[in-house]
Chains A and B, each alone.
Chain A
Amino acid sequence: MKKNLFIVLLLIIAFTLPLYAGAYVMSVFNTILVFMALGLSWDMMLRTGQLSFGTAGFFGLGAYASVLIVTNMGFNPVVSLFVGAAFSGLIAFALGFIVLRLRQIYFAITTLALTHVFSVIIRNLSDLTGGASGTQLDTAIFGGNPTKLYYMILIIALFTILISEIFSRSRIHYAINSIRNDETTAKSSGIDVFKYLLFVFVVTSALQGLVGAAYAQQYAFVNPESTFSLNFLLLPLAMALVGGIYSTNGPIIGALILGLISEYLKLIMPYGHLVVYGIIIVVVVLFLPQGVYTPIKNKLLKSSIVGGDNNAQT
């Protein structure tokens, strides 16, 4: 009950933010929500036991698909968001048949290499994509209105959260967890491992494409360097790790913590503020493998139970 109240409160704050926050605060939260959605989608793939380094790649594909379809075919920008998502999902579907045979470092490295391949292909198809200098749109989506942009990103982030929750509550999560814990056992229990992996891979890639499309439409600009930047892999990954992997709440909390810290650091440290991300990744992997969310939750639960017992005794 208390938990539901808390969620409703957060939602109210999120939806009413434009009423009292200025353009700067909105843009900060805009960025945080973008990385939150990416972190969640990365985590959803990780729940199957596959470490994907392809987040930036599918993000970039979605961004390019959405921008090119607006400039070349005159699509409505809002429709182009779905085109971006569909394109990333489609590419993921086709690649999934070969890539998802791989495991461990081979899967991780191949997805990272795919990101580079995408960016090299796009850089060299200069007639279509504008090559190394990229492509610009005449105007950002919704005419660049910050409030509307904020709501667009907020809705995408909430949609990602919703899908993540569906994944962790519906029957699918039994299959996903058992694949992560022991693939052979999962297979021998009759789970079609490949089918589930492909399904999750396509859904998460489509989400990344959707976020990429929204991001590109917001800035009205794509370019191989910045659109396929590894920041779109690193930052979401660090956020999910800090919050705690294998859960919906972890990446959300991590994105809020790191997003606010890095925004502050950016102001006092023009060069190399990303070093904080590196230190956080190392520290979390070494000392907090579960992130901050799970230990705090357990502690709270424990203390409330203990408190209850004490009350009963007295």
Chain B
Amino acid sequence: MSLSLKKTYTIILLLAIFMIIVGFWNPNALMDGLQRGSLYALIALPLALVLGILGVLNLAHGEFLTVGFYFIYMLNNKFGMDPLVSIIPTIIFLAILGGIIYYLTVKKVVNKGHLSQLLITFGVSLILMEVVNIIWTSQARNVYTQYAYASTEIGGFRFGTYELLYVLFAVAVLVGLQLFLKKTRLGQATFAVGQNPKGAKIVGINVEYVYLFVFSLAIAILGIVAGSMLPRTAIFPAVGSPFTLKSFALAAMAGLGNLNGILFAGILLGVGESAINYIPNYGGWSDIVFFGVLIIVIIARSYRGAK
């Protein structure tokens, strides 16, 4: 589902108006929402990539993130490596892990029905989470770095600067993915496989290889998320799990194959979530934003599809 240029501008305009309103009401909510939303988008991009190209909803997405967290925690704990530096080995580690898991499980169900796909990734998510649980127990852990708590003040409004890194990374990953899909040969092949796997096979594209590559790439991107998020979050075996469903909410909202839309959707829901979070006494309701929007969007789409 590709959006026309005019429609994209309308969406950006509406998003900007919404953000300005929230900004006037409470600048903290806007800043927090922007940072949070970029993070959600950053996590959702690889999920959407796998969903778009392989057609598989990876329910183990969040658990791969958890594994990334613990890998970085281990590097920090054993070798004193800075979390941001350890992004690079983590990307390599996750790419290999993703490749192996793809080869052992997901590969066998790519062409089967959605039931097998959902169940098998469900099983993988349980295995990853429980293995982390066995190795590191359920005790919460964290990594302290000085720079993660830096803040700046602009006109009397004080905000944390470290989390702006999420915005930077989200934009960088999005631009990188778009360039990869449009400019490189492998990217174009990937795009073709996503459009029509049978046709791609006929013109000589190695579909199996593309699937393996895309799955590994998607899991590897989570290394960036893990490294940048770890200084600000305590980790425990279920830390990544909620992100799977949130990522799917963004992917469903943006529409299949619309990577730019994921960033907009992420920021919109992020700002919405943090705006509700800042309403006194009603902060707890913010958790409902994603799930509510997810349900509404899916159902609205089903009605539109029926017509």
Q: Which residues of A contact B (CB under 8 A)?
A: 46, 51, 98-99, 101-102, 104-106, 108-110, 112-114, 116-117, 120-121, 123-124, 234, 237, 241, 269, 271-275, 277-282, 285-286, 289
* Other A-B pairs beyond A51-B115, A120-B291, A281-B123, 13, CB < 8 Å: A101-B306, A102-B298, A106-B252, A109-B57, A114-B291, A121-B288, A124-B285, A271-B137, A275-B127, A275-B134, A278-B128, A279-B127, A285-B123
Instruction: Find out whether the CB atom of B291 lies under 8 angstroms from the CB atom of A124.
Output: no
Instruction: Find out whether the CB atom of B119 lies under 8 angstroms from the CB atom of A234.
Output: no
How far, in Å, is A106 (CB) from chain B's closest CB? Answer: 5
Instruction: Find out whether the CB atom of B294 lies under 8 angstroms from the CB atom of A272.
Output: no
Q: Confirm or deny: B32 has a beta carbon within 8 angstroms of a beta carbon on chain A.
A: no
B residues 2-54 in Cβ contact with A at 8 Å: none
How far, in Å, is B214 (CB) from chain A's closest CB? Answer: 18
B residues 113-129 in Cβ contact with A at 8 Å: 114-116, 118-120, 122-129
Instruction: Find out whether the CB atom of B294 lies under 8 angstroms from the CB atom of A113.
Output: yes
Q: Which residues of B contact A102 (CB under 8 A)?
A: 298-299, 302
- Cα distance, A208 to B273, chains bound together (Å): 31
B residues 284-306 in Cβ contact with A at 8 Å: 284-285, 287-288, 291-292, 294-295, 298-299, 302-303, 306
How far, in Å, is A237 (CB) from chain B's closest CB? Answer: 8
Instruction: Find out whether the CB atom of A109 lies under 8 angstroms from the CB atom of B124.
Output: no
Instruction: Find out whether the CB atom of B284 lies under 8 angstroms from the CB atom of A277.
Output: no
Q: Confirm or deny: B171 has a beta carbon within 8 angstroms of a beta carbon on chain A.
A: no
Q: Which residue of chain B lies nearest to A286 when distances are taken between CB atoms in the complex?
A: B108
- Cα distance, A284 to B261, chains bound together (Å): 37
Q: Confirm or deny: B133 has a beta carbon within 8 angstroms of a beta carbon on chain A.
A: yes
Instruction: Find out whether the CB atom of B245 lies under 8 angstroms from the CB atom of A285.
Output: no
Instruction: Find out whether the CB atom of A271 lies under 8 angstroms from the CB atom of B134.
Output: yes
Instruction: Find out whether the CB atom of A120 lies under 8 angstroms from the CB atom of B287.
Output: yes
Q: Confirm or deny: B105 has a beta carbon within 8 angstroms of a beta carbon on chain A.
A: yes
Q: Confirm or deny: B143 has a beta carbon within 8 angstroms of a beta carbon on chain A.
A: no
How far, in Å, is B264 (CB) from chain A's closest CB? Answer: 21
Q: Confirm or deny: B131 has a beta carbon within 8 angstroms of a beta carbon on chain A.
A: yes
- Cα distance, A241 to B118, chains bound together (Å): 13
Instruction: Find out whether the CB atom of A278 lies under 8 angstroms from the CB atom of B298.
Output: no
Show 21 residue pairs from A and B whose CB-CB distance is below 8 angstroms, ordered by the A residue: A51-B114, A102-B298, A104-B114, A106-B252, A106-B298, A113-B249, A113-B294, A114-B291, A116-B287, A117-B291, A117-B295, A234-B122, A237-B119, A272-B133, A274-B130, A278-B125, A278-B127, A279-B123, A281-B119, A282-B120, A286-B120
- Cα distance, A90 to B115, chains bound together (Å): 27
Instruction: Find out whether the CB atom of B285 lies under 8 angstroms from the CB atom of A109.
Output: no
Q: Which residues of A contact B130 (CB under 8 A)?
A: 272-275, 278
Q: Confirm or deny: B75 has a beta carbon within 8 angstroms of a beta carbon on chain A.
A: no
- Cα distance, A279 to B120, chains bound together (Å): 10
Q: Confirm or deny: B109 has a beta carbon within 8 angstroms of a beta carbon on chain A.
A: yes
Q: Confirm or deny: B138 has a beta carbon within 8 angstroms of a beta carbon on chain A.
A: yes
Q: Confirm or deny: B248 has a beta carbon within 8 angstroms of a beta carbon on chain A.
A: yes
Q: Which residues of B contact A280 (CB under 8 A)?
A: 123
- Cα distance, A271 to B123, chains bound together (Å): 17
Interface string of B157-173 (1 = CB under 8 A from A): 00000000000000000
- Cα distance, A275 to B245, chains bound together (Å): 21
- Cα distance, A277 to B133, chains bound together (Å): 14
- Cα distance, A245 to B130, chains bound together (Å): 25
Q: Which residues of A contact B298 (CB under 8 A)?
A: 102, 106, 109-110
Instruction: Find out whether the CB atom of B291 lies under 8 angstroms from the CB atom of A278.
Output: no
Interface string of B87-128 (1 = CB under 8 A from A): 000000000000000000100110000111011101111111
How far, in Å, is B270 (CB) from chain A's closest CB? Answer: 17
- Cα distance, A273 to B138, chains bound together (Å): 13
In the A-B complex, the 9 residue pairs with the smallest Cβ-Cβ separation, listed nearest first, are A278-B126, A281-B123, A275-B130, A278-B127, A272-B134, A272-B133, A282-B123, A272-B130, A113-B291
Q: Which residues of A contact B287 (CB under 8 A)?
A: 116, 120
Q: Which residues of B contact A120 (CB under 8 A)?
A: 284-285, 287-288, 291
Cross-chain contact of B131 among A272, A285, A286 (Cβ < 8 A): A272
Q: Which residues of A contact B284 (CB under 8 A)?
A: 120, 123-124
How far, in Å, is B205 (CB) from chain A's closest CB? Answer: 25
Instruction: Find out whether the CB atom of B133 lies under 8 angstroms from the CB atom of A110.
Output: no
Q: Which of B116, B128, B298 has the most CB of A within 10 A?
A: B298
- Cα distance, A274 to B237, chains bound together (Å): 13
Q: Which residues of A contact B119 (CB under 8 A)?
A: 237, 241, 281, 285
Q: Which residues of A contact B249 (CB under 8 A)?
A: 113
Instruction: Find out whether the CB atom of B133 lies under 8 angstroms from the CB atom of A105.
Output: no
Instruction: Find out whether the CB atom of B245 lies under 8 angstroms from the CB atom of A281.
Output: no
Q: Which residues of A contact B252 (CB under 8 A)?
A: 106, 109
How far, in Å, is A235 (CB) from chain B's closest CB? Answer: 10
How far, in Å, is A109 (CB) from chain B's closest CB? Answer: 6
Q: Which residues of B contact A117 (CB under 8 A)?
A: 288, 291-292, 295
- Cα distance, A117 to B303, chains bound together (Å): 21
Cross-chain contact of B126 among A99, A109, A112, A274 (Cβ < 8 A): A274
Instruction: Find out whether the CB atom of A109 lies under 8 angstroms from the CB atom of B294.
Output: yes
How far, in Å, is B255 (CB) from chain A's closest CB? Answer: 13
Instruction: Find out whether the CB atom of A109 lies under 8 angstroms from the CB atom of B291.
Output: no
